[in-house]
Structure 1
């Protein structure tokens, strides 16, 4: 079993821009460097919280961790001291949904950390408006395998701001994440 994530290359450089290494962004409750968490000492994972796993670069895991809470683990499996309850995150363009399908296939074949608990998938709108029919079909297939939380287009995020109120479509996701953190939404 491999614990590496095989992120598909997707469209050429002209569509996705230059590639660069994924930078890990520590969560606000991250263990200080050099310190060992209770979960690591006890040989298990951190019991609470949620980890957001991007199935491709630019999926929105950092934004979700800021807006909703949880650990931003980028495009990798969570480390032993990070939450074992995970959401897979993808944008709603063709390459993003293809990467999501491929990641679900890896998980189906047990090619992930054995103690991960997949909560579902989160799709982040890549543009305003309704999805084209081909992408809606692919999303239905994904939804037949796991629960899918669809995050609509949020114009304030594009301009570098933060929305005053989160869209109603995010209510269930916010509540579930808060429940797993042991907090109120």
Structure 2
């Protein structure tokens, strides 16, 4: 197991699929995210409403900065928000490889990814939850969304870094 984590310094995507799953399992456990339930276990109508409103809010934030303007696509962004309704199974990890490489090859700076996408992503999603969800669902989003977002963005950033090294 220690060998896997030593090899991780060369990048997550340089590990074998089995080694990636070991790391991903450790991350899920550390963040308290279960592979057997959605990242945000909301009823489907609530998830769609949240995704729609969060998309509206994020579009403004993304469009305001040259480095993130290419991500200001309502259809694509809403689809990303809807992915929070999925469980973080191993296939979820693997599904982040392609998009992260595209972001890296498309010139998405990691600085903007961390500083803007993480902070504005949390702010916009929590605001959307306050606006469109009942209190018990708001509490669930408040508790779980930051961990889910950081997991996804860490996976994407690993892919961007890997694409830059390639």
Normalised by the length of structure 1, the TM-score is 0.28
Structure with the bigger percentage of strand: 1
Normalised by the length of structure 2, the TM-score is 0.30
Which is bigger in relative contact order (C-alpha 8 A, separation at least 6)? 2
Structure with the bigger percentage of helix: 2
